[in-house]
């Protein structure tokens, strides 16, 4: 890797894709969550898709856990997987019920019920984690985990009054979550070292693709045109 690039591959990837990263972490829907002004129907739509997404996200992490080169890497990845399966999926199902939705949506099979953005994002993750190296799989799954920690951290200082939004922010804004992100990004750095240009091009493509899908997922949940970040044109159906 060139001396002009960060010695940390994870930081280089994030900085290289800064515009898309900013679009994901400061999306208008995130701003409305922070203000507590997002309609509950819109947040319910997010969870209806996210419970489907997280099932395949967990499968993708499982695929790269099986490719861990050593026990230390397997330990980090297994705890990452446990965070999704043991904490985030149950929490998402609980949020869905609190917002009047049905947890039965999580039982959808083979992508049934997924909107196009959810389906495309999860196929990207599953393909990359199945066909690529452990490092390539990490580059695919990290933008989701990392961006949620980054968007939540500054919101912890002034949580919205609505407990649904406050509880959701708190799930990603704590020290334990930050520590796990530090371990997963650190693992990517260790696995890649000072990667050559071919490796960096491949990792950049994968990481950037996942980051763009993060933006599209927010757009889809918010009811905006893909990539526009514009507010929805009408009140969501409740």
Q: CA separation (Å) from 214 to 52, 79, 141, 190, 219?
A: 15, 22, 11, 25, 9
The Cα–Cα gap between 27 and 31 comes to 6
The Cα–Cα gap between 49 and 171 comes to 18
Instruction: Report the 10 Å Cβ neighbour count for 71.
Output: 9
> Which CATH number, 1.20.910.10, 3.60.15.10, 3.40.50.1820, 1.10.357.10, labels domain 9-222?
1.20.910.10
- Residue burial 217-236, b: 16+ Cβ < 10 Å; e: rest: bbbbbbbbeeeebeebeeeb
Give the pTM.
0.90
Per-residue pLDDT of the chain (238 residues), as tens digits, is: 443 344 689 999 999 999 999 999 999 999 999 999 999 999 999 999 999 999 999 999 999 999 999 999 999 999 999 999 999 999 999 999 999 998 776 655 555 589 999 999 999 999 999 999 999 999 999 999 999 999 999 999 999 999 999 999 999 999 999 999 999 999 999 999 766 888 999 999 999 999 999 999 999 999 965 555 555 443 332 2
Evaluate whether 213 touches 121 at the Cβ level (below 8 Å).
yes
Q: Please name the residues in contact with 38: beta carbons below 8 A apart, sequence gap of 6 or more.
A: 29, 32, 165
Compute the chain's Rg from CA coordinates. Answer: 17
- pLDDT reported for residue 71: 98
DSSP per residue over the chain, as a string? Answer: --TTS-SSHHHHHHHHTHHHHHHHHT-HHHHHHHHT-S-HHHHHHHHHHHHHHHHHHHHHHHHHHTT-SSHHHHHHHHHHHHIIIIIIHHHHHHHHHHTT--GGGGG--TTTT--HHHHHHHHHHHHHHHHS-HHHHHHHHHHHHHHHHHHHGGGGGG--SSHHHHHHHHHHHSHHHHHHHHHHHHHHHHHHSS--HHHHHHHHHHHHHHHHHHHHHHHHHHTPPTTT-PPPSSPPP-
pLDDT in tens, 58-102: 999 999 999 999 999 999 999 999 999 999 999 999 999 999 998
């Amino acid at each position: 890797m060139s001396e002009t690039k960060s010695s940390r591959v994870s930081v280089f990837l994030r900085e290289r894709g800064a515009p898309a990263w900013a679009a994901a972490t400061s999306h208008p829907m995130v701003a409305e969550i922070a203000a507590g002004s997002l309609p509950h129907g819109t947040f319910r739509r997010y969870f209806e898709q996210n419970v489907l997404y997280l099932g395949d996200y967990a499968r993708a992490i499982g695929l790269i856990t099986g490719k861990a080169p050593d026990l230390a890497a397997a330990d980090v990845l297994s705890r990452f997987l446990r965070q999704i399966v043991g904490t985030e999926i149950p929490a998402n199902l609980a949020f869905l019920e609190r917002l009047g939705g049905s947890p039965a949506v999580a039982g959808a099979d083979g992508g049934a019920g997924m909107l196009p953005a959810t389906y495309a994002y999860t196929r990207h993750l599953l393909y990359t984690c199945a066909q690529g190296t452990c490092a390539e799989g990490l580059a695919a799954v990290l933008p989701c985990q990392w961006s949620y920690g980054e968007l939540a951290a500054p919101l912890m200082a002034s949580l919205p009054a609505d407990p649904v939004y406050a509880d959701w922010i708190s799930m990603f804004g704590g020290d334990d979550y930050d520590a796990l992100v530090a371990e997963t990004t650190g693992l990517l750095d260790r696995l890649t070292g000072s990667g050559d240009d071919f490796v960096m091009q491949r990792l950049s493509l994968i990481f950037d693709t996942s980051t763009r899908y993060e933006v599209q997922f927010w757009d889809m949940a918010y009811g905006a045109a893909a990539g526009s970040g514009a507010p929805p044109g009408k009140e969501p159906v409740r």
